[in-house]
Amino acid sequence: MARPEKPRTALGQRLADARKALGMPLRKDMAALLGMPPDTLGTYERGVSEPGMALLATYHSRFGINLNWLLTGEGNPFHMAEAEPDDVVADTMIRLAAMAVDMHALLGLPLGPEKAAGIAAELYNELLAKGASPSDPEEVEAHLPALRLALRRRLEAGLTAALASNA
């Protein structure tokens, strides 16, 4: 039987909220992306134990979660700067998820919604690392071709490695 979803701590609630906001209703999907057992993630989300800073940093670097929001509850989960309007950042995330879906389809690779959300978050972080403002549609548009090329190369490298290991 599944354990209750009512977290004991605010941090636990925000960890669960972050997972769901990334399009992963099941803990096991998020745990797989984090490389940990679902039960371990469950103890964090229920507030039974607290995750280390390395895991919290992974939420930020891999999924674009605002650490200030994660730790304090202040601000927006996906905003690094409060001046970014929700709808513009959401539109950017949707475009990045669509890019992931399109590239996987082009290469004939399966892609579930939770993985598409994870890839969109990774692309969002790459966009930020390039110095682009997700709230500026022109900057986002200018960076999309480079993000698309980098994603394609990563996926093709993964295919090549998988084929080589099966040979």
Residue range 31-49, pLDDT digits in tens: 988 899 999 999 999 999 9
Neighbours of 17 (CB within 10 A): 17
Average pLDDT along the chain = 82
Quote the pLDDT of residue 84.
Answer: 46
Helices 38-45 and 10-21 meet at what angle, rounded to 10? 130
The pTM of the full predicted model, rounded to 2 decimals, is 0.49
pLDDT tens sequence across 118-142: 888 888 888 888 877 777 788 888 9
Instruction: Report how far residue 106's alpha carbon sits from residue 127's, in angstroms, rounded to the nearest whole number.
Output: 22
